[in-house]
Structure 1
C-alpha cells in the first residue's frame, strides 16, 4: 500500500510483518490462490494484490467484496476488539517497561466504555479508529485544508461564477481569503459570518418581490409540515410535547391565509385559481391531523393497484400483466423523483407530461388485459383504475371511497408511521412549488437560489461548530490520537527487542494493523466508511459499522454485531429528509428477538427524543432471511457516495 507522500508517514509500512505469515499458515491458501489468481506468500501480499486489483480495475468490486467476506485468511485474524483486549493484557504484564506501559494508557484512551456512548463521542471514536489516518495527515487536522470546507467553498464559487453583481465580487474575495492557510482562527470566523450575510443577500436578490415573498411563505409551510410530522410521531409514541395540535392547526391556517392572499394579489401566478380553491378547503378543515382516506394522491392509488393481491396472482400466469405491473411500480418511483425535483424548484413540465401519458397508456393496456381474464373478479381493480381516467395532475388528490384494495394496502402498511398532517398538505406544497417555478421570469434563478440556500445552511453549521468548539480551527492533529498511528509507533518501539514477550506483542500489533488495512480496503472497495466497533463492550464478541451517503441526501448505516449469549444481530438503518429513519433488525436467537420486540416502543421514544421520526422499525429472523439479506445489504448501498458529513474519507493512493 502506498500512501500520500508526507514525512510523517515513514512509519506507516513495517518492513516485515511476521504475524501475517503466521496467520497465513493457518489459512486455506488453495482457496485464496483461486480467488486472487495468484499464489500469495502472506496476508500482506494478499492485501497488496487486492489494492492493486482495485486500482487497476482488474477485478470488479463485487469480486473483491466476495474475497474479503469469504477468505479464510481474513477470518482467521479474529475479532479486532478481542485482539485489542489481548494486546492490553500483554502490555499490562510488561508494566516494568515504562514505555510499553505508556502505550497501554494511550490505547485505552482510544477506546471508550460503551456505557458512555453518545452522538459526540461516537463520531470522535470513529475518527480515531485508524481507518482515516492518511486522510487526517493530508488535511493536517486543519479546517482550512479540510475536504468539507474546501468542497463547500468550491461549490459556492461555481454557483456564483456567472452572476455579475457587486455582491458576487465581495463573496469571491471572501472565498479567496477563507482558503488562505495563514488566516488566523478569529479572522476566519469573521469571514465565515460575512460570507453568510452576503450569500443571504445575494439569494434574496435573485427573484422578484412577488415570487420572493411567496417562496419564503412556501418554505415556511414546508418547515411547518416537517415540524408537525415530528410532533405527530411524538404524540403517537407518548412523548410529551410543548406545542399542541390545536396551536399547529391555527398556525398552519394563518400561514395558508397569507399564501392565499399572495395569489389573490398576484392573479397571474401559475395555477392560481386551483391553488386558492385547494387552500380554501384546507382552511375549512377542522383538524389537519385527521386522516382523510377518501382523497388520495395518484401515486398512492397507483401503488395500491400495482401491489394488489389480484394483480400479484395474475402476474404469475400472465406475462403481459406482469410487465404492466412492473411498469406501474416504475411509474410510482418516477413520481417520487419528480416530487423531489418539484420541491427543489426544478422545472418538471416535460417529464411530468411524458409520465402522465405513460400512466394513461399503461392503465389502458391493463384494462384490456383484465377484460380478457375469465374466472377472476376484477371489479375492484377496474373501479380503482377508472378513478385515474384522464388524469391531468400528478399532485392533485382524487376522491376514492371504500375500495377493498386500498384497505388491503393500509393493512400492509401497519407498523409504518404515516403523518396525516403531511399527507393532508403534501399535495398543496407540491403544487405551490411547481407554481413558483412556472411563474418565475427566469426559472434558473430559482434553482440557483435553492442551491445557495443549501450552502447557506452548511455555512451556518460550520459557524455553529466553530463557536461550540473553537479548537476546530487549530492545527491540533496528534499522532497519539489515532489507533493506526499509535500501533505503528509501537512496532518501532518493539523492532529491536528479541525477548519472547516483545515478540508476542509484535505479532498482536501487526495483526491489528492488518485488520485496519482490511477495513480501509473494505471502505475503498464499497465507497463507504467501514470501521470496527471502537468501544469496550463486555457483551461484544465481534462487530463492524458501515456508513454511506447517497446522491439523494440519504444516509445508510449497516451494523453487524455478534453478542455473547444473544448471537448475531444485523441492523440496517436509512436516514432521509433530515430526520426520518427506517430500521430493519435481523436477530439470530429467539429469546433475543423477544427482548428486542419488547423494547421497540422504547426505541421509538428514544429516537423521538432526539427529534428523529421512526418511520418503520421491523424485526426479522436472521436464519430465515439470511440468503436474501446478503443481497439486500449489497444493493441498499448501490450508486452512493462517501459520507461527506463525517468528513472521514480515505485518501490513499494504491
Structure 2
C-alpha cells in the first residue's frame, strides 16, 4: 500500500524516503557533514537542513555539491538504460509484472517522440509524485467549490429555468458529503456513500442539461425573441458559466466523485509509485529472478530520488527524458530563462560513434532561434552540415525562424555570440537527463 503524505519537503529530504540523500550522507566526510550542520549526529544534520532549506541556505548549496560529486550517484548511468535492464529482467520472469507494459510505453524510440508524449512522460516521471499528491484535490471538494461559484452566477440570470437552478444547487450543497468535503479526506482511506454519490451525479446532470439546453435553444433561435436577444447580455452566455460547465462535465458520474479518485489516477500513471508497488509485489513473490528485478527497481528508484533532491536543493526542476536511441551513450539538457523572456538550452550528448556533441540554443522574440553546434569530430560536423537545410525547413514549418546556425570546434575559443553575451542575467530553469 503506497503511503501518502502532504509534507513533500519531508519526503524528499529524509534519507528514509530519499535514497539519494541517504547515499550522500553515508559517503560524506566528517568535515563535509560539519559544513552542513554544526551538529555531528545525523538527526541534527537533517533538522538543520529542514529548517534552513526554505531559505536557500548555504547548507543547500553544500549538499547539492556533495550530491553531484557523490561517486555512486555519478556512476548511476542514464534512466533509459536502467528501464531497458528492468524490462529485460522482468521479461525473463515466468510471470510478467503489470509494470512491464508501463515501462514499454515509457521508453519511446526517439524517432516517434512527439510533444504530447514528452509532456505526459515528464508529468509521470516520478519526480513530481509527492507534489502532485500534495496538490491533489478531493473531487467532492471540487464539486462543492464549483457549485458555489455556479450558484452565484445563475442567480443573476434573467432566464427562468436557469435562475431556478439556484435552489437545486443549494439542495446539493446541503448534502452531508459536500458540507463536510475537505482535502484531508484524501489522507484517510474511507468508504464513500454510493447512494449519495449517485444523488449528486443526477443533480449535476440536471444542471448540465438545463444550462446546455437553454444555450442551445437560444442559439437556434427557437425561443421568444426577448430571450434570443438576451444572448448578448445574460450571464448564461458568459465565459464564467462556460468554465463551470466544463468543470461539471468532469464531475458528472459517481466514479468521478469518489474521494480518492484523483489520487488513484496519479498513482496509476506515476512511474515512482508503480515502482514502489511493484517492489512490494516482487518481495512477496517466489520469483527465481527476484534479486535481479529488485536490483533494477532500486536503481531506477534511486535515479528518480536523485532528480527529486536536485530539484529541491536548486529550487528548480531537474528531470529525465526516457527515450530509446542506439547512438546515445549519455546526455543532458538544461533549460534556462532570463529576465528578458529569452530562453536558453544547453544540450550535451555523448554519442557512441561520434563522441561529445554540444548544442547551445537561444530563443528570443517569441520565435527567433540561434543555434551553435560544437564538436571535434570532423565526420559528425560534415554530416550535420549536410542536413542543415532539412533542419531549417523543419524549424520554419514549426513557425520558428532560424536566425543563426553555426558549427564550431568544441575545443577552440569562439567569438562571443548572443548566447554568451547575456548569460549573466539567466535565471535557473530546469535540467533534463536523457
- TM bracket (short chain): 0.5 to 0.7
Choose which of 119, 126, 142 in structure 2 pairs with 1:123: 119
1:104 counterpart residue number: 100
CA gap of 1:88–1:122, structure 2 versus 1, over 3 A, is same
Shift of residue 540 of structure 1? 2.1
CA separation of 1:16 and 1:70: change in aligned 2, threshold 3 A:
closer
Offset, 1:92:
0.8
Cα offset, 1:63, TM superposition: 4.4
Residues 32 and 60 of structure 1: CA distance in aligned 2, closer, same or farther (over 3 Å): closer
Offset of residue 15 of structure 1: 5.8
CA 1:19 to 1:554, structure 2 compared with 1: closer, same or farther past 3 Å? closer
Structure 2 counterpart of 1:329: none
2:289 is equivalent to residue 501 of structure 1: yes
Partner Cα separation in structure 1 for residue 138 and residue 352 of structure 2: 41
CA distance in 2, matches of 1:595, 1:5: 51
Q: Give 1:557 shift.
A: 3.1
**Partner residue, 2:399:** 611
Task: Say whether residues 1:5 and 2:1 are aligned partners.
Answer: no
The 5-angstrom pairing of residues 345-424 of structure 1 reads none
* Residues 611 and 633 of structure 1: CA distance in aligned 2, closer, same or farther (over 3 Å): same
- Cα deviation 1:33-89 (Å, max 9, x = unaligned): 4796589999xx999997776445442665455434333231122222111111111
Paired residue secondary structure (1:74)? helix
* 2:385 equivalent in structure 1: 597
Structure 1: gaps of 5 or more residues: 147-179, 195-458, 644-654
**2:232 counterpart residue number:** none
Aligned to 1:67: 66
Aligned to 2:270: 482
Tell me: CA distance 1:609–1:19, structure 2 relative to 1, closer, same or farther (3 Å).
closer
Instruction: Supply the distance in 2 between the matched residues of 1:616 and 1:142 (Cα, whole angstroms).
Output: 49
1:369-390 CA-partner distances (Å, limit 9, x unpaired): xxxxxxxxxxxxxxxxxxxxxx
Does the CA-based 8 Å contact 2:335-2:344 persist in structure 1? yes
Shift of 1:527: 3.6
Cα separation, 1, equivalents of 2:422 and 2:274: 33
RMSD (Å), alpha carbons: 5.3
1:84 corresponding residue in structure 2: 83
Scaled by the length of structure 1, the TM-score of the pair is 0.40
1:497 Cα deviation (Å)? Answer: 4.9
Alpha-carbon distance between aligned partners in 2 of 1:497 and 1:41, rounded to the nearest angstrom: 38
Cα displacement (A) at 1:548 = 4.0
* CA positional deviation for 1:121: 1.8
The CA distance in 1 between the partners of 2:384 and 2:118, in whole Å, is 22
Change (3 A) 1:67 1:518: same
Counterparts of 1:144 and 1:642, CA distance in 2: 34
1:651 matched residue in structure 2: none
Distance 1:597 1:28, change over 3 A: farther
Equivalence for 2:302 = 514
Q: Is the 8 A contact 2:36 2:45 kept in 1?
A: no
Kept in 2: contact 1:113–1:537 (CA 8 A): yes
CA separation in 2, counterparts of 1:613 and 1:504?
Answer: 49
Q: Secondary structure at the match of 1:553?
A: coil
TM-score, structure 2 as length reference: 0.58
Which one has the largest radius of gyration? 1
1:575 aligns with 2:383: no
Q: Distance in 1 between matches of 2:344 and 2:130?
A: 24
**Structure 2: distance between partners of 1:524 and 1:552:** 25
- Aligned counterparts, 1:534-573, within 5 A: 534-573=322-361
Does the aligned pair in 2 maintain the 1:142–1:472 contact within 8 Å? no
Distance in 1 (CA, whole Å) between partners of 2:382 and 2:392 is: 16
Q: Following the alignment from structure 2 to structure 1, what is the Cα–Cα distance between the partners of residues 77 and 405?
A: 31
Higher relative contact order (CA 8 A, sep 6+): 1
Q: Alpha carbons of 1:135 and 1:572: their partners in 2 closer, same or farther (altered >3 Å)?
A: farther
Is the 8 Å Cα contact of residues 139 and 145 (structure 1) preserved in structure 2?
A: no
Distance 1:532 1:32, change over 3 A: farther
In structure 1, C-alpha distance between the alignment counterparts of 2:251 and 2:366, rounded to whole Å? 24
Post-superposition shift, 1:606? Answer: 0.9
Q: CA 1:50 to 1:515, structure 2 compared with 1: closer, same or farther past 3 Å?
A: farther
Q: Does 1:93 align with 2:92?
A: yes
Q: Is the 8 A contact 2:4 2:133 kept in 1?
A: no
With over 3 angstroms needed to count, the CA separation of the structure-2 counterparts of 1:133 and 1:50, relative to structure 1, is same
Gap change, CA 1:91 and 1:543, over 3 Å in 2: same
- Compute the displacement of 1:499 (Å): 6.3
Unaligned runs of 5+ in 2: 143-177, 182-199, 216-238
Q: Deviations over 1:575-623 (max 9, x none)?
A: 2322222223333533222222332232122110010112222333333
In the alignment, the residues of structure 1 paired with residue 351 and residue 391 of structure 2 have an alpha-carbon distance, to the nearest angstrom, of 19
Match of 1:132 in 2: 128
